[in-house]
Amino acid sequence: MLRIQDLTYRIGGRVLLDGASLTIERGQKLGLVGRNGTGKSTLFKLINGTLQMDGGFIQMQRGIRMGEVAQEAPAGPESLIETVLAADLERAELLAKAEVVTDPADIADVHNRLADIDAERAPARAARILAGLGFDEAAQQRPCSDYSGGWRMRVALAAALFARPDFLLLDEPTNHLDLEAALWLENYLQNWNGTLLVISHDRRFLNEVIEGIVHLADLSLTRYAGNYDRFERTRRERLEHEGKMREKQEAERAHIQSFVDRFRAKASKARQAQSRVKMLEKMEPIVAVMEDKSIAFQFPEIAPPPPPLLAIQDVNVGYTPGKSILRHLNLRVDPDDRIALVGSNGNGKSTLVKMLSERLGIEEGTIVKAPKLEVGYFAQHQSDELHMDETPFQHVQRMLPEDKESRVRGHLGRFGFSGDRGNTLVSNLSGGEKARLLFALMSCGKPNILLLDEPTNHLDVDAREALVHALNAFEGAVILVSHDAHLIELVADRLWLVADGTCAPYDGTLADYAAELQTTRRKARQSDKPANNGDAPRDTKKQARKDRAEQRQLTAKLRKTVKESEAEMAKLASKCATIEAKLADPSIYDGPTSDLMDLQLKHAEAKDALAAVESAWMEAQEALEGAA
């Protein structure tokens, strides 16, 4: 379907692609991955013809309809449903033609073609896509101009999906979605029959939807079979193999060079020495394994205060007096809590986070805080927290006014702002760099609780993994809002559901929540269809729901134990690794013996705790499997 051969592209004297090649067959679903700035979005623009290549060629099979999300979000007076329906250009053209043709043969041709493309059911299909992306029936009738940019980008995504192209390009499709819409899109694309090339840093999405990975690195494209987890494993094994081969080659080169150096001047050995020089010249060097190191996140060590950190009692909160977004909130946050907020966009997740960070005052009720509570807050909208006309250095210096310049710059360097990059205006930073600056600012103090509102939007896959490890090593509480299911599954051990104007603990796992969403959507679709004689009696359906609820309640405690144990194991494993790294440092043995003994004691305690948690996890897992 698509063939890229020896593609070369330069921008501003910088080479982004050099001799890159790739073939995509019909029906394949591939993920395009690589570090930020390597040229993934540029490759899309080369494929769709927006940019012109400097060398090579891109060949698309004739007659293929390519689709992608429009760069400009729709913002006109047309309703959402009208905007999406208009994306099917053939249907729109045929409907317009049907209004004016008079020749009986032409009329027949038009209506036959409308029937072929199933035009009659198009409005229902468009409505289902919009509903899946978070727009109810009333919202679908409102004009696009009523919505913010993020919501309009959802409409643009809906239009691209509705058009049913043969080959679909998607660039970070989940970035403007909440968790619910991201899970819907994942399910939709799993069942889609077209060809897909998608740029994404969402690990779960790449694991669930994608069957092959295209890695953009070192100016070229490398194809891997399987999902992202398999790609990561295969690439790691390949790099390890290449590293060993390089070591072997270097040893061989050293041996040959030694012979040449010893016998070049001896007449009896001159010919052999010369032949070995030729061997060295012909020996193709194996490129050194150069793995870019991901940005490391390291939150400060703290001494958590006694519980609770926060006690919320009968609280109402909103932006306009008398118009509460969330009501009757009764919640508690303890020092070891790891909580993810779930619920559709617009239900109040960000409102709750802003309230907890004291960026939004309450209307009624009380919030009791632990003494010396320090809050670290990551804002979804970065411009709310950053000064565009200042540099990263100025931001951190304001947070650490007593520290020397060297320490401020050292702190910035840990988050990728080394050298002159720390003096760059925030307005000139990329989205990923702004995210890293927010993490750097959060780490200046010693927060007892981290409030994270969509922290992964601008992070690549490796940076997201680094964030997971850092959060699991953090000793305080974490409350996060994220569409990244992978992050939620590895970090959170509790869910709070924000819905119907309030927030309450959700009794179940993320998998339970996703299953309930699918069931709800399936019932909504079925309710739109006329009833038939094959429908199950209402009482039977009610009993089935009751049985499922009882089974979920029966296993809820076991599932919670498994989830908590997994989170605790990750935390303890990270702690052991940190201590082991310190014990591996020779300088520790030159210091006071008491420091060494204290470190060894902590290591033993951490290993014992890890063994105990692993045992509890195994028992709970076996019990859960037996109850299934």
Residue 82's pLDDT is: 92
| Cβ-proximal residues to 185 (8 Å cutoff; 6+ apart), any chain | 132, 133, 157, 173, 174, 177, 205
Provide the b/e sequence for 15-24 (b: ≥16 CB within 10 Å): ebbbebebeb
Cβ-contact 363, 321 below 8 angstroms: yes
Residue 525's pLDDT is: 64
Instruction: Answer yes or no: is 278 within a domain.
Output: yes
Please give the Cα distance from 515 to 523 (Å, whole number).
12
Instruction: Answer yes or no: is 33 within a domain.
Output: no
Q: Which residues of the chain are modeled with pLDDT < 70?
A: 241-249, 252-253, 255-256, 259-260, 262-296, 382-384, 524-558, 618, 621-628
Dihedral, 520, 524, 530, 531 alpha carbons, nearest 10: 20
Cβ-contact 439, 451 below 8 angstroms: no
Domain count, the chain: 1
Residue 355's pLDDT is: 94
Q: Tell me: the pLDDT tens digits for 154-203?
A: 999 999 999 999 999 999 998 888 899 999 999 999 989 899 999 998 98
Q: Tell me: the pLDDT tens digits for 615-625?
A: 777 677 666 65
Instruction: Answer yes or no: is 572 within a domain.
Output: no
**What is the identity of the amino acid at 163?**
A
Cβ-contact 447, 304 below 8 angstroms: no
Residue 53's pLDDT is: 92
Structural domain of 249? 231-282
Sign of the CA dihedral with 603 first, then 609, 614, and 617 last: negative
Helix (H) or strand (E) holding 30: strand 29-33
Instruction: Answer yes or no: is 237 within a domain.
Output: yes
pTM here? 0.69
Residue 621's pLDDT is: 67
Residue 3's pLDDT is: 93
Residue 427's pLDDT is: 86
Instruction: Answer yes or no: is 620 within a domain.
Output: no
Dihedral, 169, 171, 177, 182 alpha carbons, nearest 10: 60
Instruction: Answer yes or no: is 267 within a domain.
Output: yes
Instruction: Answer yes or no: is 246 within a domain.
Output: yes
| Cβ-proximal residues to 437 (8 Å cutoff; 6+ apart), any chain | 386, 392, 395, 415, 417, 426, 429
Cβ-contact 598, 567 below 8 angstroms: no
Residue identified by tokens 């082991």 is: 580
Residue 526's pLDDT is: 65
Instruction: Answer yes or no: is 519 within a domain.
Output: no
